[in-house]
Amino acid sequence: QSFKLLGFLDVKSVPCARESVLYGSLGSLVVGLGHFLATSRVRRSCDFAVGGFICTMLGYWFYCRYNLAQQRIRQRMLQEGMRNRMLYEGSYLDPEKNQTGNERSDS
């Protein structure tokens, strides 16, 4: 059973959505309660809580998505390197074979 936030954001299937909502709610609690303890103004504290939710949620969303994109890039590079290693291993195009040959000629 999936949970849709605002009717369009499926929290279960979208990467980083669950964590963003959880951190956003924690951020709204901290900001709203902190503002209330500092000023004792309820309505203004609720406004700050909503702003804290939005800022925290979007901030963590971008941070998480950036890390996810970096991880996918590293994974793609690693897979390509492994594929090339299997393809060229033992052939004349093998970079390690050329390197060991150059090291022997230098000595």
Q: What does the pLDDT look like over 15-65, one tens digit per residue?
A: 888 899 899 999 999 999 999 999 999 999 999 999 999 999 999 999 999
CA-based angle 68:73:76, to the nearest 5? 125
pLDDT surpassing 80 at residue 91 = no
What percentage of the chain has pLDDT greater than the value 90?
A: 53
- Tokens, residue 72: 């996918």
pTM beyond 0.75, yes or no: no
Domain boundaries of the chain, sorted by first residue: 15-86
User: Which alpha helices (H) appear in 1-107, and where do they start and end?
Assistant: 17-39, 42-88, 95-106
